[in-house]
Amino acid sequence: MIISLLLWATGYIWVTTCLVFSLPLFLSMVLENKKVLIVGGSHGMGLGAARTAVRSGADVVIAGRDVEQLRLSKEVLGPKSRTICFDLTDATTYVGFFEAVGNFDHLFISASPGGESRFEAEYQNIQNSYLYGKFWHTFMFLQQAVRRINTGGSITLMSGGYAVRPHPDYTLVTVAFAATEGLARAMAVSLAPIRVNAIRPTYIDKEGNHTSIDKNLVGYQGTNGDIGHAVVFLMSNAYMTGQVLEIDGGASIKL
């Protein structure tokens, strides 16, 4: 009887803890003993993924440019996290960065270096465009990153709804997002058995909590936590590769 009560109490505490931290039970500890690297992980959707990864048992390294934001993120994530100040747009730092990080199991890149994106803008060179900032820096970084991924590891890239629903003011954003999704599929083939996927978030409130909207089927915007759950799912599901996971509350099929 005593043993039964102890088992019941242990199970109750475990389930209650998962519910308190808003972590689906199917994600609990799925990344235990895994090392996760998140580039752009000090805020927004990157931080949402980092929080879910930590709660799923991972040791998380987050990289970003803002020292103060990294400090605050470390306070949120706790002892299972480590921060590194890093600028994705500076390729000369890649070697030193990966030496500091070491080998890892899963990579999520949420960073999106900016740049001009309008069709009518004058471009003296491609370096000042959003296409170069988002796509090319990601590509060059990945060429180095794949050497550090452990067996059974994965890469998750991030595009956005403009990949399939263009906005008239953001021409090169659409091009960059579509190219990122194409890169995920191509790398899934080229790097197999390393798994490579992409997420396509749309209508995400990076500062709020399920703010009401009428542009999708669920009636509210997604959150950083919603993105985190999706990213950890792709990291932990060994049968997912070469896919683009749309996270839009049903906006893509709303009439």
For residue 87, the domain's CATH number is 3.40.50.720
Residue 204 is part of which domain span?
Answer: 31-253
Each of the 255 residues of the chain gets a pLDDT tens digit; together they read: 444 444 344 443 343 334 334 556 556 789 999 999 999 999 999 999 999 999 999 999 999 999 999 999 999 999 999 999 999 999 999 999 999 999 999 999 999 888 899 999 999 889 989 999 999 999 999 999 999 999 999 999 999 999 999 999 999 999 999 999 999 999 999 999 999 999 999 999 988 789 999 999 999 999 999 999 999 999 999 999 999 999 999 999 998
Looking at residue 186, what is its pLDDT? 98
Do 37 and 133 share a domain, yes or no?
Answer: yes
Do 124 and 244 share a domain, yes or no?
Answer: yes
Task: Round to whole Å and give the CA distance between 84 and 101.
Answer: 8
Do 17 and 64 share a domain, yes or no?
Answer: no
Do 112 and 185 share a domain, yes or no?
Answer: yes
| Domains held by the chain: number | 2
Do 18 and 57 share a domain, yes or no?
Answer: no
Which residues of the chain form beta strands (DSSP E)? 35-39, 59-64, 81-85, 104-109, 149-158, 195-201, 244-247
**C-alpha atoms less than 13 angstroms from C-alpha of 208 in its C-beta half-sphere:** 10
pTM for the full model? 0.88
Looking at residue 2, what is its pLDDT? 46
Task: Round to whole Å and give the CA distance between 186 and 189.
Answer: 5
Do 117 and 7 share a domain, yes or no?
Answer: no
Question: In the 8-state DSSP scheme, what is residue 26?
Answer: G
Looking at the DSSP bridge assignments, the partners of residue 201 are 247
Do 115 and 172 share a domain, yes or no?
Answer: yes
Do 98 and 4 share a domain, yes or no?
Answer: no
- Tens digit of each residue's pLDDT (9 = 90 or more) over 38-71: 999 999 999 999 999 999 999 999 999 999 999 9
Do 10 and 45 share a domain, yes or no?
Answer: no
Looking at residue 7, what is its pLDDT? 38
Do 6 and 40 share a domain, yes or no?
Answer: no
Do 124 and 186 share a domain, yes or no?
Answer: yes
Task: Round to whole Å and give the CA distance between 145 and 194.
Answer: 12
Task: Round to whole Å and give the CA distance between 185 and 158.
Answer: 12
Do 167 and 235 share a domain, yes or no?
Answer: yes
